[in-house]
């Protein structure tokens, strides 16, 4: 019984660690979009993501059609939310890349 | 004109008539102030976008030749957007309804229901810009007009995000019912951040000035 309890405790801890791992460092999201040609229009991206408490920074690269979003540690932005926000800002998402900034 | 009318007209002189060829629909929760002046009209459009596909707000116009003013609500609908890797195009429908007022000539303090509608198309990449828009306005005995205009523009340099951006444009306006049917206006568009300014002069020497601020 004691062994069973220890194993289940270890399994629970392992599961918890695996779930938290992606959020343990600030996440950087690189989002490739179509339609990103106008600086004035692209302000909508800053306005929308700037409202979020879980976003610490945003950068727009008109040359590359790339939006870079810095997410605060212990937070994450799922693909669905990210895609909806970018679409609402006026653009089409073509790729999302995630990296961890230690 | 009474004091209120003078104040309203003066306010509109500092404002804009037709849109300044900036997006009439913003991001969800976004406010936009559009102020435009050309040789025919001045006006003001303050709109709010509940979603990314439509906006609604106050529209005011001062029609100089007609000595008439319009106050009402305007609805802008994003009909379609085409996003490509290096370009973007948009199709909008813009309509409004309200009241028009004039006391010019035989119109003795004439107050009339008024409405307008029109479409707007634009296409741009980072170097070139084209747009077309039209508008039908009905205001009873005060005014009944059709207007269409098109623009072409070129950016003399490609600025990065956050830079001051400059566009050199030519606007051609066609107003079939007017004495001057065609108006050509070379203009400069400048924008930085969320503020856009345009200034130009028609072939008759009349000024154009537009201001758009997005919040």
CATH code at position B139: 2.40.160.40
Q: pLDDT tens digits, residue range B82-137? A: 999 999 999 999 999 999 998 877 667 788 999 999 999 999 999 999 999 999 99
Closest listed residue to residue A52, CA positions, set A86, A21, A22: A86
Domain segments of chain A: what residues?
25-100
pLDDT at position A51 over 90: no
Q: What's the average model confidence in pLDDT over B163-172?
A: 95
Residue B15's φ and ψ, nearest 5 degrees, are: -120, -155
Give the lowest-confidence range in A15-24, B54-63, B107-116. A15-24
So what's the architecture of A25-100 in CATH?
2-Layer Sandwich (3.30)
Residue B27 to residue A47, Cβ atoms within 8 A: yes
* Residue positions counted in chain A: 102
| Of A37, A61, A94, Cβ closest to residue B124 | A37
A89/B121 Cα distance (integer angstroms): 19
**B165 pLDDT higher than 50:** yes
Number of domains in chain B: 1
pTM of the model: 0.81
Token digits of residue B164: 């001051």
Distance CA B47, CA B57 (A): 4
Residue B10's SS3 state is helix
When the pLDDT of each residue in chain A is averaged and rounded to a whole number, the result is 80
**DSSP letter string, chain A:** -HHHHHHHHHHHHHHHHHHHGGGSS-EEEEEEEE----HHHHHHHHHHHHT-TTEEEEEEETTTTEEEEEEPTT----HHHHHHHHHHHT-EEEEEEEEE--
Chain B residues with CB under 8 Å of A92 CB are 83
Element (H, E) at B119: strand B110-124
**What pLDDT shows up at residue A3?**
58
Pairwise pLDDT comparison (A59 vs B11), residue with the higher score: A59
* Size of chain B in residues: 215
Q: The domain containing residue B32 runs over which residues?
A: 3-214
The ipTM, to two decimals, is: 0.75
With CA atoms as reference, the chain A residue closest to B126 would be: A37
């Amino acid at each position: 019984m004691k062994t069973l309890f220890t194993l289940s405790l270890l399994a629970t801890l392992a599961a918890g660690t695996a779930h938290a791992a992606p959020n343990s460092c600030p996440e950087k999201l690189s989002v490739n979009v179509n339609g990103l040609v106008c600086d004035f229009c692209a302000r909508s991206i800053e306005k929308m993501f700037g409202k979020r408490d879980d976003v610490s920074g945003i950068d727009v690269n008109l040359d590359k059609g790339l939006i870079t979003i810095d997410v605060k540690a212990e937070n994450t932005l799922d693909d669905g939310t990210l895609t909806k926000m970018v679409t609402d800002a006026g653009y089409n998402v073509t790729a999302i890349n995630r990296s961890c900034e230690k | 004109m009474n004091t209120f009318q003078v104040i309203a007209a003066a306010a509109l002189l500092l404002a804009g008539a037709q849109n300044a060829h900036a997006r009439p629909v913003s991001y969800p929760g976004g406010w936009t102030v559009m102020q435009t002046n050309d040789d025919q009209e001045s006006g003001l459009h303050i709109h709010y976008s509940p979603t990314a596909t439509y906006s609604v707000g106050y529209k005011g116009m001062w029609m100089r030749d007609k000595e008439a003013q319009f106050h009402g609500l305007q609805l802008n609908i994003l009909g379609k957007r085409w996003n490509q890797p290096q370009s973007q195009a948009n199709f909008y429908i813009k309509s409004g309804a309200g009241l028009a007022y004039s006391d010019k000539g035989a119109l003795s303090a004439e107050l009339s229901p008024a409405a307008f509608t029109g479409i707007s198309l634009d296409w741009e990449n980072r170097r070139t810009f084209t747009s077309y828009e039209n508008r039908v306005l009905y205001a009873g005995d005060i005014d009944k007009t059709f207007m269409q205009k098109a623009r072409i523009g070129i950016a003399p340099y490609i600025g990065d995000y956050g830079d001051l951006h400059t566009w050199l444009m030519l606007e051609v306006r066609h107003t079939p019912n007017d004495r001057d049917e065609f108006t050509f206006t070379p203009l400069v568009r400048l924008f930085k951040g969320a503020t856009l300014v345009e200034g130009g002069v028609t072939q008759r020497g009349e000024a154009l000035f537009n201001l758009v601020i997005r919040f």
